[in-house]
Structure 1
Amino acid sequence: MSFSLHGWSDADLRDPYPVYERYLAESPVHVADGVYYIFGHDAASSVLSGAAFGRRSRTGGPVPTGPSVLRTMVENWLVFLDPPRHTELRSVVNREFSPSVVTTLRGRITEIAAGLLAELPTGFDLVERFSAPFPILVISELLGVPRSEWAWLRRQAVDLQEASSSRAARNPRAHETADRAARELRDFFLVMAGKRGDLPGTDLVSLLVSAGLSADEIAATCVHLMTAGHETTTNVLSKAVLTLSGRPAALAALRDGGVSPEAVEELVRFDPPVQAVSRWAYEDAAVAGVTIPAGSKVMVMLGAANRDPARFAAPTELRLDRSGGRGLSFGLGIHYCLGATLARAEIEIGLGLLLAVLGEFTVDSVKYPYDMVFHGPSSLVVSRQGAMRARSTLD
């Protein structure tokens, strides 16, 4: 049976890894309807880092052709640019996501997490009350967006995700919804940029204005950082709680020893927040012995590559002290996730405080949106007993 990102059952959508395992056992590369799906770790690495593959299709972008705010915006997203513009823009934005900048933010990240966790009821939706607002508040801090706007930003970000291929296939109005959100977000950040042009600050929007970016580039970069800067962390935090809820020994180890960098890497490898990323072949290329013709669309299945037994020992086991290299959840090559250092800090700090506040807990219900790209619960209701209050500073 040919592989597809559409038509999945709810059970397989929640846990796609047995499906990946079956395809990977047959071959690291599969082709269906002209799309090449990459399952193996080495094959995925070669595509993500290879000069023969890039982000631009022959039609110019990742969304359907035709004029729209969404299309213009996405075509200016850093993740969909190739050199030399990618190199130029990334060099500007990278200053605000360096390890030294993230280190100085750790105290503020802790305060934001603790504030959200301070007054949680016994039963609550983890996504709504913590996993989603936490990274939005952090990225808003960098962008200079007032906290009062975080709920609105989250709603627009969710609507924007309707344009992803999996969701759009089931919703005939998906692109209309996403385009409206893109328009509102563009207008919001253009107003901010105008104010920073008159009165610069120390935030990221001021940096983009001072760097001489066009209006389209400023708006697109702000929206990209806002969406990418929270969606992945939201999914990791929620899925980490789901993963740990069925593994009491691992949960106890994190509570006793803290959430280490190694534990963060393993949780992200085990159930990554983004399951697949697209590339286009710019020339004929051989991957794992399969010739991919120039112009072909390629889908790199990060979730499958992260569980490739040729790369990871016992890949279906959660080993919080796993060593021997990272998975591909944050990508590889020139498009390696710009915010990876920030995301790791948010997960380490946020999950540590969250587990302390949760105490003994049960998962009451979980709902996943139909999305095989951005993969994580839209709702995760938990009940807690014997919880502790979050602290406003790290030990």
Structure 2
Amino acid sequence: MTVSTLPPFDLRDWADDDVRNPYPVFERYRAESPIHVADGTYYVFSHAAASTVLSSPIFGRRSGGGGPIPAGHSILRTMVNNWLVFLDPPRHTELRSVLNREFSPSVVTSLRDRITAIAQDLLAGLPGEFDLVERFSAPFPILVISELLGVPREKWDWLRSQAVALQEGSSSRAARNPDAHKIAEGAARELHDYFSALAEERRTAPGDDLVSLMVGKLKPDEIVATCVHLMTAGHETTTNVISKAVLTLSARPDALRALRGGVTAAAIEELVRFDSPVQAISRWAYEDVTVAGTEIPKGSKVMVMLGAANRDPAKFDEPGELKLDRDGGRSVSFGLGIHYCLGATLARVELEIGLGLLLDRLGEFTVDSVEYPYDMVFHGPHQVMVRKSE
């Protein structure tokens, strides 16, 4: 392991400009070494090392402690500890096998008309000036997952507000807000009660939704946790991709014109690689292991810097350039291995349809202002003020 000449890496206390654009910071650390160690945490910056950690069974999601939520928030803690993303085999395998059917390409394809209708409804009567996040990027994916879960339309606004409150419990935000876990616990209680009642309804009167599929196959707490996890994971990540794609394209007129006639699969992959919706994800070493020449002891926390790996010049030619027809390797934005994003197929269809319709409806536009929350894990603006040209 190279002795670093840089300050110890940390995801806290970044300057606002670096939060908006973390890639120059990542580049400095990755150029010096693929892995940096600070306060006992191993930060992985290179694509090769990230791929090793994400795909190896030596690295898992369990720390051996009580999970990512501190004691004193029992409902939130139980819910998060049952999320698919925090499970290891064999329970992860069992739960994923139940859910894979609902997220298969054929099922997602059958949702295209409903996804299109949701996007068109949100974009109807788009004003001359508006907040992109509030008007489209945030509600669009939450409405799609609500449709998949069988949540009635009159509850969609409420569900979105609870999803936003629940995200306050994420590690980056909780570190800066002493009331974050209290806010998230309140939302978790509301969501627990709602999805528990919905599951009971589906037990006696099943439908063609995901909740009906899980009843009888999963325990009550697992049903609730899975509903909430799908809702939050699909909400925040897709919101970030749409918002950041518009920002990226607004600064690149040629790329924007190229996508006016339709958003291609290659363009989606490139936009997700270029500015990742999730910048970091944690793993724990279950054995002593060496990665990229660095010895990682058993029990160590490992943070895979997805955004850094996706800009690694050893993997991608001119990684800081947006190339909508790029054909030079796979990004790690959706993960790898057993924890590869369950909703990746759904997210791609949402982006193809939603971003395509949005760009067509926007016409010529400018971005007047952008505000980012302090979150170096779920990374994206919480406000993008857009003005359509006359």
Query: How would you bin the TM-score normalised by the shorter chain?
Result: over 0.9
2:368 corresponds to 1:357 = no
2:352 corresponds to 1:348 = yes
Q: Following TM superposition, by how much is the alpha carbon of 1:324 offset from its aligned partner in structure 2, in angstroms?
A: 2.2
2:146 corresponds to 1:154 = no
Alignment check: 8 A CA contact 2:317 2:328 kept: no
Q: Following TM superposition, by how much is the alpha carbon of 1:67 offset from its aligned partner in structure 2, in angstroms?
A: 5.2
1:171-186 matched pairs, under 5 angstroms: 171-186=177-192
One-letter amino acid of the structure 1 residue matched with residue 87 of structure 2: L
TM-score by length of 2: 0.97
One-letter amino acid of the structure 2 residue matched with residue 49 of structure 1: S
1:66-105 superposed Cα distances (whole Å, 9 cap, x missing partner): 5511110000000000000000000001111001111111
1:159-308 matched pairs, under 5 angstroms: 159-211=165-217, 213-256=218-261, 258-308=262-312
Corresponding residue for residue 131 of structure 1:
137
Corresponding residue for residue 53 of structure 1:
59
1:199-235 superposed Cα distances (whole Å, 9 cap, x missing partner): 1111101111132x11110100000011111111110
Give, in whole Å, the separation in 1 of the partners of 2:76 and 2:9. 28
Q: Following TM superposition, by how much is the alpha carbon of 1:198 offset from its aligned partner in structure 2, in angstroms?
A: 1.4
Corresponding residue for residue 27 of structure 2:
21
Give, in whole Å, the separation in 1 of the partners of 2:109 and 2:203. 28
Q: Following TM superposition, by how much is the alpha carbon of 1:65 offset from its aligned partner in structure 2, in angstroms?
A: 3.6
Corresponding residue for residue 329 of structure 1:
333
SS in 1 for 2:101: helix
2:8 corresponds to 1:5 = no
TM-score by length of 1: 0.96
Alignment check: 8 A CA contact 2:115 2:350 kept: yes
**Structure 1 unpaired stretches of 5+:** 387-395
Corresponding residue for residue 391 of structure 1:
none
Corresponding residue for residue 4 of structure 2:
none
Corresponding residue for residue 40 of structure 1:
46
2:92 corresponds to 1:86 = yes
1:228-247 superposed Cα distances (whole Å, 9 cap, x missing partner): 11111110000000001110
Which sits farther off after the overlay, 224-233 or 82-91? 224-233
Alignment check: 8 A CA contact 2:73 2:185 kept: no
2:171 corresponds to 1:144 = no
Corresponding residue for residue 3 of structure 2:
none
SS in 2 for 1:314: coil
Q: Following TM superposition, by how much is the alpha carbon of 1:192 offset from its aligned partner in structure 2, in angstroms?
A: 0.5
2:110 to 78, 87, 104: 104
Alignment check: 8 A CA contact 1:56 1:62 kept: no
Give, in whole Å, the separation in 2 of the partners of 1:363 and 1:298. 37
Give, in whole Å, the separation in 2 of the partners of 1:378 and 1:163. 16
**Structure 2 unpaired stretches of 5+:** 1-6
Which sits farther off after the overlay, 325-334 or 55-64? 55-64
One-letter amino acid of the structure 2 residue matched with residue 217 of structure 1: E
Corresponding residue for residue 113 of structure 1:
119
SS in 2 for 1:381: strand
One-letter amino acid of the structure 2 residue matched with residue 262 of structure 1: A
Q: Percent identity?
A: 74
Give, in whole Å, the separation in 2 of the partners of 1:151 and 1:299. 34
Alignment check: 8 A CA contact 2:73 2:182 kept: no
Q: Following TM superposition, by how much is the alpha carbon of 1:385 offset from its aligned partner in structure 2, in angstroms?
A: 2.3
Q: Following TM superposition, by how much is the alpha carbon of 1:162 offset from its aligned partner in structure 2, in angstroms?
A: 1.2
Alignment check: 8 A CA contact 1:131 1:234 kept: yes
Give, in whole Å, the separation in 1 of the partners of 2:252 and 2:356. 16
2:380 corresponds to 1:376 = yes
Alignment check: 8 A CA contact 2:315 2:328 kept: no
